[in-house]
C-alpha cells in the first residue's frame, strides 16, 4: 500500500468509521447509516482515483475515501466485522469509471454508479492526460435501480419496526 501525499486516513472506533483528509473532505459515519458499500474508480489524475464509497440514504447520497489512504486495511476489517461479511477489493487496476457493490450481499458485484461521460472523451482521456490535459469530467450518480432497491429495502425495514 502506498500512502497518499495528503496523508488521508481511515479511523475506526466503536460504532463509527471516520475519514480524515488533508484536503478538507473528511466525514464520520455510523455503521447503522451505511445502506450500501462499494468501490469505484475515476480518472481524476490524483490519488483519489480508487475510492471506497458508502451510500448513506435512499436518495443515493454517498461519501467516499481514497483506498490508498492510511488505515484502509483496518477500515475494511472493521467493516467486515460490523457488516458480517468479507469485503474484497477487486478494482485496484481497473479502468476509470468502474464501480461495484461490495455490500449488501444480494447486490454484490453490481455496478454502484452510473457515469455520464462522452464516449469520445472516454476513449481518448488516457492519452489526453499523458499530454498534460485535464482529466475527463463525468457526472456520477448511484445507479437508479440500486437507489430503488435501497428505498424498497429501507421502507420494508422501517415499516416492520
Q: What is the pLDDT of residue 29?
A: 96
Residue 156: enclosing H or E segment and its boundaries? helix 144-159
pLDDT at 126: 59
Please give the pLDDT value at position 105.
94
C-alpha cell at 83: 457488516
Q: Report angle CA 131, 134, 137 to the nearest 5 degrees.
A: 135
pTM above 0.75, yes or no: yes
* pLDDT value of position 84: 94
What is the residue extent of each domain of the chain?
A: 9-159
Q: Which residues in the chain show pLDDT less than 70?
A: 1-6, 44-48, 118-130, 132-138, 154-161
Q: Write out 123-139 in H/E/C secondary structure.
A: HHHHHHHHCCCCCCCCE
pLDDT of residue 130: 66
Amino acid at each position: 500500500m502506498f500512502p497518499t501525499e495528503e496523508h488521508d486516513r481511515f479511523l475506526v472506533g466503536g460504532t463509527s468509521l471516520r475519514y480524515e483528509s488533508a484536503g478538507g473532505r473528511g466525514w464520520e459515519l455510523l455503521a447503522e447509516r451505511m445502506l450500501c458499500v462499494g468501490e469505484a474508480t475515476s480518472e481524476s489524475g490524483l490519488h483519489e482515483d480508487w475510492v471506497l464509497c458508502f451510500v448513506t440514504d435512499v436518495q443515493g447520497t454517498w461519501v467516499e475515501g481514497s483506498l490508498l489512504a492510511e488505515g484502509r486495511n483496518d477500515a475494511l476489517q472493521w467493516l467486515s466485522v460490523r457488516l458480517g461479511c468479507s469485503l474484497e477489493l477487486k478494482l485496484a487496476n481497473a479502468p476509470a469509471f468502474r464501480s461495484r457493490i461490495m455490500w449488501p450481499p444480494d447486490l454484490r458485484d453490481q455496478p454502484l454508479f452510473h457515469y455520464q461521460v462522452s464516449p469520445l472523451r472516454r476513449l481518448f482521456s488516457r492519452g489526453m492526460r499523458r499530454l498534460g490535459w485535464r482529466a475527463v469530467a463525468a457526472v456520477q450518480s448511484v445507479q437508479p435501480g440500486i437507489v430503488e432497491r435501497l428505498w424498497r429495502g429501507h421502507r420494508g425495514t422501517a415499516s416492520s419496526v
